[in-house]
Amino acid sequence: MNLHRITRAAACCALVFALGGANLAPVAAAGSDVKVALVTSKTGPLGAYGNEFLRGFQVGLNYATHGTGVAGGHKIVVSDFDDAGDAAKAIATTKDLIGQGYKIIAGTAISGIAVQIAPLAQENNILYMPLAATDALTGVNRNTVRVGRQSTQDVLTVGTILGSNLRGKRILVLAQDSAFGQGNVASARMVLGSEGATVDGLLVPLSANDFSPFAQKILDAKPDLLYIAWAGATGLALFQALETAGVMNATSAVTGLDQRAAFPLFYKAGPKLNYIALYLPDCSKSAPNEFLINADQKDLGKLPENFENDGFVAAEMIAHAVETANGDDVAKMISALEGYRFVGPKGPEQVRAADHALLEPMFVAKLETKGTNVYPVCLRTLPPSAVAPPVRPFKQ
């Protein structure tokens, strides 16, 4: 969800994984290579998200295949492609990859792009595994399988912060005017509105770079709670504007915990700002989490960021699908993933067979300081069942 950036070191990592020679055959025979394309933003507004995903995928594939890059006797050959946050480029790249015989395409971070690629997956019978959070991807078709949480899981986590008595509360959702932002407003109305709250949306144009007018609109609205559902590089400027205008002193607010580079600004915003966390290394004791932490500390000298978890999970899922299907037969890979239970860095994960939602834990956190260091503290872990979104049966 909000403001993500990856360190220069991580962005410079080798993200084209030459794990074997390419095989252009459309269906892998026993022992043949399986090609995987990661199409996501390496540059553009959500470039940080994509680079985190790619890094996590690299580490996750090492974990899932014990460093061999081989699943079920098939070498997994991974290539990444930058969509630059441009829908036309992403769609053209996807169509070209399908023409080259790729059966597995994963990674798309932008909701507005992912919802356009999902129909292509069904039309061309490939396995599509998007990172994007829009609820619209759940149940869209059997060829689309999520590799991360969705907006309703965020909102359900927000609900646990607000408590049980929401009747009469006025909640304002601050988000970008995009598929992701619109989806968050819709999810908040569905989840929090059903508990008696009045939910309004304040949608900001994606082109905006002066957020002072929107800060004033929040002050004028005087909500009981401000839910900030933001994505991309403009988040730092947004929070600076909110702090300058005194928004955080005027109302309680909830947002997604950003990358570590943004922690000092979040902390400066004040004690009324509460956090949901998509992933925090300190919130889980799983073996995959320890593997990811150790890899990042060794290679990058830092702790993992939010969307490394999703890349790691995508690699686990693909390795399982390829091994179970004995190659890249799409129908067999989908069947292998439906109902699949496994452990990722966040903890227990399950692909819900009914609609391909990914059920996983969510976290609530706070920020504390020690000297000049601002660091997160995990307050509680919500099990997958507590934040499971409603089932959205397949449309087709």
Contacts of 12 by beta carbon, 8 Å cutoff, 6+ apart: none
Same domain, 288 and 367: no
Q: Quick check: is 199 in a domain? A: yes
Angle between helices 308-325 and 287-299 in degrees, nearest 10: 120
Q: Quick check: is 214 in a domain? A: yes
For residue 8, the model assigns a pLDDT of: 36
Q: Per-residue confidence of the chain (396 residues) as pLDDT tens digits?
A: 443 333 333 333 333 343 333 333 334 344 899 999 999 999 998 899 999 999 999 999 999 999 999 999 999 999 999 999 999 999 999 999 999 999 999 999 999 999 999 999 999 999 999 999 999 999 999 999 999 999 999 999 998 888 777 888 899 999 999 988 898 899 999 999 988 899 999 999 989 999 999 999 999 999 999 999 988 778 888 988 988 898 988 888 898 887 888 888 788 776 668 899 999 999 999 999 999 999 999 999 999 999 999 999 999 999 999 999 999 999 999 999 999 999 999 999 999 999 999 999 999 999 998 888 888 899 999 999 999 999 999 976
The reported pTM is: 0.87
For residue 396, the model assigns a pLDDT of: 64
Same domain, 214 and 269: yes
Same domain, 94 and 26: yes
CA distance 172 to 227: 6
Q: Quick check: is 59 in a domain? A: yes
Six token digits for residue 167: 């009747």
Same domain, 260 and 190: yes
Are the beta carbons of 367 and 374 closer than 8 angstroms?
yes
For residue 18, the model assigns a pLDDT of: 37
Q: Quick check: is 232 in a domain? A: yes
Same domain, 264 and 366: yes
Altogether, the residues listed in the chain come to a count of 396
By CB atoms closer than 10 A (0-12, 13-18, 19+), residue 230 is buried
Question: CATH number for the domain including 98?
Answer: 3.40.50.2300
For residue 270, the model assigns a pLDDT of: 66
Q: Quick check: is 396 in a domain? A: no
For residue 28, the model assigns a pLDDT of: 38
Its domain, for residue 228, covers 151-277+362-387
For residue 16, the model assigns a pLDDT of: 37
Number of domains observed in the structure of the chain: 2
Q: Quick check: is 342 in a domain? A: yes
For residue 20, the model assigns a pLDDT of: 35
Q: CA angle 352-380-252, nearest 5°? A: 105
Same domain, 273 and 290: no
For residue 177, the model assigns a pLDDT of: 93
Q: Quick check: is 394 in a domain? A: no
Same domain, 73 and 176: no
Same domain, 83 and 210: no
Q: Quick check: is 238 in a domain? A: yes
- The secondary structure of residue 17, as a DSSP letter, is B
